[in-house]
Amino acid sequence: MEIIPMLLKEMEQEAQITRKMLEIVPADKFKWQPHPKSMNIETLAVHIADVPNWVALGVHTDGLNFAESPYDPGKAETTQDLLDIFEKSLAQGKAALESTTEEELLKPWILSNGDQILQRYNKIGVIRVALCQLVHHRAQLGVFLRLLNIPIPGSYGPSADVLSGEYQDKANLVSSN
């Protein structure tokens, strides 16, 4: 079984769901946060939009050292900015996967902060973690939106908002696969 086609399919399935979530993030709520220790919606949504680029990072590098390269996914001023960041990030991630080999994906990849090793993965592992982070943070965004009484789409089935008729995009309730 080939891993690269499976990862590409998973990326596309998660992209369909992620687009729906990013499309409903209201720019006038970008600075809102549910708790002082929480990210604000803009920071969270920009991170979600940028996560597919971590696939390219995993493919093209042997690791990331936060002390040498602090993580900065950028800023957004509008909901369209979020979607633009996401589409660029997704394209970079998919292109990286399409251009690599399974042998390359078995090589080690290290996440560190200075001399402190935070995680050791192989490149497949860092890609899987990136996809898990996408799902994790997208769910977090769903909670933020729910707290703002914004109806949310379904992810892997209909949401409570879809079932109650509150979510408006009923033509695209869940991913088609």
Distance CA(99)–CA(111), nearest Å, equals: 23
pTM of the model: 0.90
Query: Is residue 66 situated within a structural domain?
Result: yes
Q: How many domains does the chain have?
A: 1
pLDDT at 165: 86
pLDDT at 169: 63
Query: Is residue 177 situated within a structural domain?
Result: no
pLDDT at 13: 96
Rounded average pLDDT over 82-99: 98
Query: Is residue 68 situated within a structural domain?
Result: yes
Query: Is residue 50 situated within a structural domain?
Result: yes
Query: Is residue 84 situated within a structural domain?
Result: yes
CATH code of the domain containing 28:
1.20.120.450
Helix H or strand E encompassing 63: strand 63-65
Q: Does residue 175 have a pLDDT over 80?
A: no
Domain that holds residue 76: 3-172
Query: Is residue 104 situated within a structural domain?
Result: yes
| Residue that the structure tokens 């089935």 belong to | 157
Q: Does residue 130 have a pLDDT over 90?
A: yes
Query: Is residue 69 situated within a structural domain?
Result: yes
pLDDT at 1: 58
pLDDT level of residue 166 (50, 70, 90 thresholds): confident
Give the helix, strand, coil percentages of the chain, each rounded to 5.
Answer: 55, 10, 35
Q: How does strand 108-113 pair with strand 116-122?
A: antiparallel
Query: Is residue 49 situated within a structural domain?
Result: yes
pLDDT at 174: 41
pLDDT at 172: 44
pLDDT in tens, 24-76: 999 999 999 999 999 999 999 999 999 999 999 999 999 999 999 878 888 99
Rounded average pLDDT over 86-108: 97
